[in-house]
Amino acid sequence: MKLKTRIFFIFTSVLIFGVLFYINKKSNLSIDLSKMSLSNERFDSIVVVGAGLAGLTAVIEAYQTAKKIYNDDIAKIHSFPKIYLIEKEKNIGGNSAKATSGMNGALTKYQKELGIEDSLEQFAKDTLKSGGNLNVPSLVNTLVHDSKDAVEWYSQFNLILSAISQCGGHEIARTHRQAPRADGKPSPVGWNIISALKKFIQEDLKDNVEVLLNTRVQKIIKNKEGKVVGVEYETTNLETKETKKDVLPAGAVILTSGGYAHDWTDTSLLRRFGEKTLKDVPTTNGPWATGDGVKMGTAIGAGVVNMDKIQVHPTGFINLKDPFNPTKFLAPEALRGYGGILLNAEGQRFVNELSTRDFVSEAIFKNCSNYLMKHYDSKEEKEIEKKIVLSWLIMNEKGVNAFDAGSIHFYAKIGNMKAVEGIDQVSDFIHIPVDTLKATLKKYNEDADKGYDEFGKKRFPFKFSEDDKFYVAAITPSIHYTMGGLAVNSVGEILTPRKNVDVSTLLNTATTTDDQINLKPILGLYGAGEVTGGVHGKNRLAGNSLLECAVFGRQAGRRAIESLLYYNDSAVEKAKSEEKEENKELITGLSSTEFKSLTFREFHESDNCVYLNLKSTYHRVEPKQALLLKNTTTKITQQVLCSNLDDGGDYGVIKIDMKQLNDDSLGLKNMAPGDTIEVKLA
């Protein structure tokens, strides 16, 4: 063979081999990654999927926790973690940026400044009542107890949520937002919070956080031990439309990708769980709300809860210039919280405007259906007639100024509200006789003087005068929120059934009412926000969505980073094969010579167990392990046996069956989430 031919043959062979190797490598990235151990330094990172409020909060809390606990001992095992924030849209914010009513909080400093007396018990009672007691009790307990700190946590970003309203379903005013701006410009709370957190991440955390936009996570990857070790994703170049697929290793993945209130895709969760009741109902959600996180989670075995509980918000604006558009701009709860009333086509009130969302929506469907709407369609060049559900929302200027005049003027500017002078102009606009409207307002004022009406309303923010300046909007119930989602515990760990269940069975298990004792964590997978389910039951209270993102975004971010940094995977794997006391300490994160401070998670009535958080999700205490517990305040000490189950599923937690104790002298049942207790191996 000639030299040139031989060289050409070798070159061609190498080229072909290289191409095949590259293709094989790309097509088997997830397989290769799934075989890797968490001890690899590439896993000293966290991936957060979804850049709404829950995602941004999780990123910041994870970073701040890492800064707080990272020390020389941890540095010997882990590098300082990198955080990746992945968002499939081109912008940060999601539905959180559209929120306008505010964030709930009980016992906040802002309530105290305004003389508002609240309690954790009443807040929990309101949440459970709205949820029809289908809420997971431990999640409600954490939501309520952490609400004060969550609301005040945002002040570090100059977000002073000092304006407080009482929204539907609340017995007490506790929905916080920023005060109206002095210059009269709109001050939407969701947009303001998202903008401040986005700025902080992009400027202050730019060396530790990488934001990937136009990037869709397609798969969560687990290794052979069942631990989540990364994600598979696809990035789109918006200019060239070219896509690139890759994998990203991670020591933890936090799902904050939102719900499925706009999911009419081929794998639609709305169609599966709510098609019959939601047919022809518009939505307030953006097109991104397609339940991606729920689908990816169930694909690797995550449990779900309350999937058939889909909230229809009573008031989505009907823009009279485009009345048949299936996507509506939300008319926030706070409009009714500041005195807005609802009228049917006959000009009559028909409901307590401050009742729960499901109740008000039902009343609108019952009293305001079959409104004949005529609209000229310029595209089809003809007039279209349809019967729709329509109620009129009416406010006066006092209510507008108390809410946020800038936002109201914005609604008017885009055609969602109309400002008119006097009751006669209201009559002309909504085509209801003026005498009827006068009689309705007169009765409302009389009821306000009495302090109650026939619909059960007891709070009347402002009375009306016939010569008021009125703000009027057409509204209709709209799909707004999905209470269902992935099963999660109070520290943000995504859960899976203890027994193997296929995906189809998981998705067909719509509602769970127990307190998750038959579930266990998927190691390395966390979640927060609307992608998860259980905290709201059958119906969410106004203001609990942003609060859920804040509370559980912080919980998930904190738990994920602590689990990563407090755990020595390589040492534990080696220790499992050796029977030494120090190895037990590595596996449990506890000590036999000194007390370690652990936090209280929850008490479950369903199994009569108190749950304590181990330092890491990966730590595990064997069943019947003897433990010494010491109350940090009273110094009382008791010996107990660990009540973890012997199926190996109780990672990251110590369960203590209270039946083994003659008395609760340690005060375990009376502890609140986050309270500490000292624990030592006995």
Catalytic residues: 313, 336
Give the CB-side neighbour count of residue 563, counting CA atoms within 13 A.
34
Nearest partner of 654 among 628, 632, 634, judged by Cα: 628
- Rounded to whole angstroms, what are the CA distances from 370 to 344, 388, 389, 476? 11, 5, 6, 12
Structure token digits, residue 95? 């539905």
31: Cβ contacts below 8 Å, ≥ 6 apart: none
Structure token digits, residue 118? 């609240």
The residue type at 312: V
Interstrand relation of 596-604 and 310-317 (parallel, antiparallel or unpaired): unpaired
User: Which residues face 653 on adjacent strands?
Assistant: 613
Structure token digits, residue 49? 């999927």
Query: What is the C-alpha separation between 522 and 495, in angstroms, rounded?
Result: 6
Q: Is 234 in contact with 215 (CB distance < 8 Å)?
A: yes
Q: How many CB atoms lie within 10 A of CB 378?
A: 7
Q: In 459-584, where do the E strands start and end? A: 469-482, 485-487, 493-497, 519-527, 532-533
Q: Is 307 in contact with 529 (CB distance < 8 Å)?
A: no
Q: In 88-146, where do the E strands start and end? A: 103-104
Q: What is the CA radius of gyration of the chain?
A: 28
Q: Identify the sign of the CA torsion 180, 332, 190, 163.
A: positive
Angle, helices 544-565/189-204, rounded to nearest 10 degrees: 20
Diameter over CA atoms, the chain:
108
Query: What is the C-alpha separation between 233 and 218, in angstroms, rounded?
Result: 5
Nearest partner of 642 among 605, 610, 600, 678, judged by Cα: 610
